[in-house]
Chain A
Amino acid sequence: MTGMAALQQAGHLTVAGASKRFGAALVLDDLSLAVAKGEFVSLLGPSGCGKTTLLRCIAGLLRPDAGHISVAGRDITTLPAHRRNVGVVFQNYALFPHLTVAENIAFGLRAQGVSKSESAPRVAEALALVRMTEHAGKPVTALSGGQQQRVAVARALVVRPSLLLLDEPFSALDRKLRETMQVELKHLLREVGITAIFVTHDQEEALVVSDRIAVMNAGRIEQLADPATLYGRPASLYVLDFVGQSTRLAGQVTEAAGGMLAVQTALGPVRAPGQFAPGSRVVVAVRPEAVVLGEAAENRIAARVREVSFLGSRTQLHLDLPEEGEDRGVVELPRLPEGIGPGSAVTLAFREADTMVFPAP
């Protein structure tokens, strides 16, 4: 239990060795996680990776088969959902259609036996917090998606939960509104000072809202890091793949000395920092914006442009690389140089320090 105690000290929310099985499928696999007070952590992964199951275990809507969950030093593993005081914003908000906006927000206070005279000002305060005061008397079915989300957040926050869980809170909104609400919600939660866990499959969303991101894969956390580290130093090919884009080349280590590797790829030698034995099969990767056209960096490879995508503030080149599968190439440039188009031969240059090496899958 010393490991558990150490985790508990580290975090406001602590998950220690949680496992959950649905029939034959192991959905959570001995997963541990510690979240500090006031921190925003995203659980990021594809559907079926266990992120929603983990969220439901923390909320008390599911009980893990093994492991412990504690909040603020108190073990809540066996505590039923209604006594945990953990707020949840559900994917489609799960507002109560038979109640008005104000009644939805007051629901939790009433359930917890807060008197009318005390609950009225708290509901008013929550309405003001999410700028919904003028809609207090409306039925929730008359609200737009963004307004429904605000009501769901207010309803969860008004009971002063020790933790707020958000299950894909932006997935029901269209793209433009989603971007606005992401920033708005992050700001709001920061102001309230609450610890929050977001579940999402959208890596951009995770990068925007989180202090740290836990990339999940098959019931485990593949990497838990701040967005910049996750993007710049992914711990595995899986994380590299799931967060952002990259140019990737399969190769073999030919030389390893002083923390630097020489890797022979189909497009020539590449040098990168890393620890591999000579002869290892590896994948070298570089982020799109770390690549320039020309010869202005140590690593250089020749490639052919397959397609050009104009994205407004930047332009992406998709490259033809010798082999399909492991090899793929995306380069991002602030603007498209004169004379470059589909079929152009280009030289890509990138710094050794920006080059990442992973064991070949």
Chain B
Amino acid sequence: MERLGLGIAWTALVLVILFLLLPIVVVIPVSFTEATVFRFPPEGFSLQWYAKIRNVDGLLGALWLSARIAALATALSLLLGTLCAIALVRGAVPGAAAITTFMVSPLMLPGLVLGIALLQAAREVGLRDAWWSLLLAHVVITMPFVMRTVLGSLSLFDFAMVDAARTLGCSYPVALWRVLVPNILPGFVSGALFAFIASFDNYPVSMFLVDVRTKTLPIQLLNYLEISPDPTLAAVSTGLIGLTVLVLILCDRLVGLRRMASI
């Protein structure tokens, strides 16, 4: 019986892995097709769809915008989120547990709700600029990811180390920088990674905040799909997959994926 049960579990594992990976893997060969339609298996080999990325109106601009927004929002979240997390873990904040739950709650909120609420809020305070409202909205999107991993690392961190650094001649901020930051680096990196991805491919929130000249990549891609569904999208996707793999390799070199996964 035990063998049979394990066999079923094994089969399920293989099927799920295939189901998770196949669609992603299929995109890569399709991006090199000579055909003008999205079809598998691809016909021939060409780089024409990669060349076309440059010519599609607004695609590179959207990519650049999304990258900048994601990077800035992640950086802001790391700074603010770490300070908030330190206050929650060390500051004897009344109701710290409830506040912690609140700080990670946008993770559980439907993006649509958040998008409408943020649009409303931006209107109320008279914020008409799409770029700034996108950035602020994406700080809201990224903050819970950063909070979650940084809080996780902080709860394992022994703050006596900060005291030790202080008695050895570091002021409090310097002690945080030289002792706390290196020790919670895995939490930073994995939090930043999740946050960046969450911002980069966010659709439901951004949808409400973009304007004609300021469109993020997911929105631009979907627009393009509606107008001309050709393998350019596969080429863009393959490029993003390559980028992700590159970032993961860098993270592995920097702190080790094992350490990141454990947080």
Q: Which chain A residues have a beta carbon within 8 Å of chain B's beta carbons?
A: 59-61, 80-88, 90-92, 94-98, 107-108, 111-112, 155-156, 159
Contacts and interface: CB of A to CB of B under 8 A. Distances in A.
A81 B166 contact: yes
A88 B169 contact: no
Given A92-B158, A94-B158, A94-B164, A111 B183 contact: no
Given A96-B179, A98-B183, A111-B174, A82 B166 contact: yes
Given A111-B169, A155-B168, A159-B169, A61 B163 contact: yes
A59 B183 contact: no
B6 interface: no
A86 B163 CA distance: 12
A244 to B, nearest CB: 32
B215 to A, nearest CB: 42
Interface residues of B, number: 19
Contact of A88 (B164, B170, B171, B174): B164
Nearest to A114: B169
Interface string B134-155: 0000000000000000000000
Contact of B168 (A91, A92, A98, A159): A159
Contacts of A80: 166, 171
B167 A84 contact: yes
A61 B166 contact: yes
A85 B174 CA distance: 16
Given A96-B179, A98-B182, A111-B174, A90 B160 contact: yes
Q: Across the A-B interface, give the 10 residue pairs with the lowest CB-CB distance, nearest first.
A: A108-B168, A111-B169, A94-B160, A94-B164, A81-B166, A112-B169, A98-B182, A88-B167, A94-B161, A111-B170
Contacts of A88: 163-164, 167
Interface of B: 158, 160-161, 163-172, 174-175, 178-179, 182-183
A199 to B, nearest CB: 14
B163 A107 contact: no
A110 to B, nearest CB: 9
13 contacts: A60-B166, A61-B163, A81-B166, A82-B167, A82-B172, A86-B167, A88-B163, A90-B160, A90-B163, A94-B158, A94-B160, A111-B178, A112-B169
Given A61-B167, A96-B164, A98-B182, 5 more contacts: A81-B167, A86-B167, A97-B183, A111-B178, A156-B167
**SS class of chain A's interface: helix, strand, loop or mixed?**
loop
B133 to A, nearest CB: 39
A180 to B, nearest CB: 24
Contact of A82 (B158, B160, B161, B171): B171
Contacts of B168: 82, 107-108, 111-112, 155-156, 159
B259 to A, nearest CB: 11
Contacts of A82: 166-172, 174-175
B233 to A, nearest CB: 43
A112 B160 CA distance: 19
A60 B179 contact: no
Nearest to A152: B164
Contacts of A159: 168-169
B256 to A, nearest CB: 13
Nearest to A97: B183
B184 to A, nearest CB: 10
Given A97-B183, A98-B183, A87 B158 contact: no
B121 to A, nearest CB: 38
Contacts of A61: 163, 166-167
